[in-house]
Amino acid sequence: MSNDDGILNAGLEGVPHSVLTAPLEELVKWARVRSCMPATFGLACCAIEMMATGGPHYDLARLGMETFRASPRQADLMIVAGRVSQKMAPVLRQIYDQMVEPKWVISMGVCASSGGMFNNYAIVQGVDQVVPVDVYAPGCPPGPETLLHAILTLHDKIRTGELMRRPGEGAGLVIEQRDGQVDTPVTLGRRGDTPTSGLIGVERSAS
Amino acid sequence: MGYLRGFAVTFRQIFQRPVTTPYLIGKGPKAPKPERLHGRHVLNRYEDGMEKCIGCELCAGVCPARCIYVRGADNPPTDPVSPGERYGYVYEINYLRCIHCDLCVEACPTEAITETKLFEFSFTSRADAIYTKDELLVDEAGMPKHLPWEDWRPGEEEFTSGWVRATAPAGDASYEGRVGWSGELGFGVRAPEGDQESRDASGSAGRAS
């Protein structure tokens, strides 16, 4: 334990790992996995499949996700279902900012993930330029089982990941938080370590 | 007392079988898939192990999402990779762009690229989503490669190859019921799908496995 990272300076993030905190961490992760409430954020045709996943045939409630929350403040998972236009991007970011930590993002469908076949001026080419994405679900649209696969992959990520730090491989952009939750700018990407190379179309400055 | 009838409706449903598909990763059966569902691609081989892809880039040209990148190279004369003059030296598909329209399968002159029924996969990193030729090409036995983020079930490889193309090249109805493709590794030359009338009569209604 170093004093720089102590609980007084870094908050809960500074709590060192120990025998005592390990079971608590497991418990917290267990609870997070089993009550991952998604926000209602359907943008296009993918939302139809998202609704089908919530319906009785695929039944998201089996995974403890129950209903889609109408308010982002009650949600901790944003399923970006559909293409994000340039005009929608600030709204998307605002909804993301309004969600409470811890929060995760699933980019559902190719339009949200990379723009898909809409490679034009109107569509954001990948929602990870706006928010950090945890899991990408491919397909146009992804079927309910693909979305379930993405959600279960996210559950694995929550279960095996760090409690406080969430490495997300985003586009590496620096974005100011709009609501003043954090006064330091948020970098979309891995915090602290070197940016991963070889990502498509993303030029990174070696800083 | 009219509201009791409403409760009775709810109560009756308790004894009915649930309709839920109990799908989870690696557990629980998948819902039956339509026979012509378009899933992730494979690159096929001939029965002698040669690659079918000749690097013509027609798939890349026809792709509406521009998700395919192909670079052909001349076959080495001593150890050819494909029976043609050229072969696919680089073959990449970006699954964060692919919309599974199957136009690449339609365009391919050698039926090198076909689509499987696998649609249960998701990525935690963008780099995983770009499938290279190594990942797309079937193995020595003609079976597709199983990647860690894909949920393959036993028997799903059956729906992997050129056989999934219902009729013949370009979907011409006059080729219905005739074998229009060459033999392939692991499966040989398969019987074609029956014509529409026989399928209607047998009542299979286009459901596979």
Consecutive H or E run containing A147: helix A144-160
A192 has pLDDT over 60: no
Q: B96 and A114: CB-CB below 8 Å?
A: yes
Say if residue A109 is in the same domain as residue A186: no
Is A3 inside any structural domain?
no
**Residue A145 DSSP SS3:** helix
Consecutive H or E run containing B200: helix B196-202
Is A96 inside any structural domain?
yes
Say if residue A156 is in the same domain as residue A177: no
Say if residue A144 is in the same domain as residue A205: no
Say if residue A101 is in the same domain as residue A172: no
Contact present, B73 and B86 (Cβ < 8 Å): yes
* Per-domain boundaries in chain B: 33-192
Is A129 inside any structural domain?
yes
**Residue B62 DSSP SS3:** helix
**Least Cα separation, residue B10 to chain A (angstroms):** 15
**Residue B74 and residue B65: Cα distance in Å, rounded?**
27
> Looking at per-residue confidence, does A161 or A171 come out higher?
A161
Nearest chain A residue to B29 by CA distance is: A145
Write the CATH number of the domain with boundaries B33-192.
3.30.70.3270
Cα–Cα nearest to B160, from B174, B178, B143, B181: B143
**Residue B207 DSSP SS3:** strand
Nearest-by-Cβ selection for A110 from B23, B99, B121: B99
Q: A59 and B20: CB-CB below 8 Å?
A: yes
Per the prediction, chain A carries an average pLDDT of 77
CATH of the domain at A86: 3.40.50.12280
Q: A169 and B95: CB-CB below 8 Å?
A: no
Is A18 inside any structural domain?
no
**Residue B68 DSSP SS3:** strand
Kind of pairing between the strands at B113-115 and B41-43: antiparallel
Say if residue A132 is in the same domain as residue A181: no
Is A21 inside any structural domain?
no
**Residue B174 and residue A107: Cα distance in Å, rounded?**
42
B148 has pLDDT over 80: yes
A207 has pLDDT over 60: no
- pLDDT at residue A205 in the model: 39
Say if residue A99 is in the same domain as residue A137: yes
Q: A135 and B30: CB-CB below 8 Å?
A: no
- pLDDT at residue B133 in the model: 92
Is A22 inside any structural domain?
no
Q: Which domain holds residue A177?
A: 168-207
Is A61 inside any structural domain?
yes
Cα–Cα nearest to B154, from B118, B129, B130: B118
Cα–Cα nearest to A26, from A164, A167, A159: A159
Cα–Cα nearest to A137, from A167, A174, A112: A112
CB proximity B94 to A under 8 Å: yes
CB proximity B152 to A under 8 Å: no
**How many structural domains compose chain A?**
2
**Least Cα separation, residue A13 to chain B (angstroms):** 23
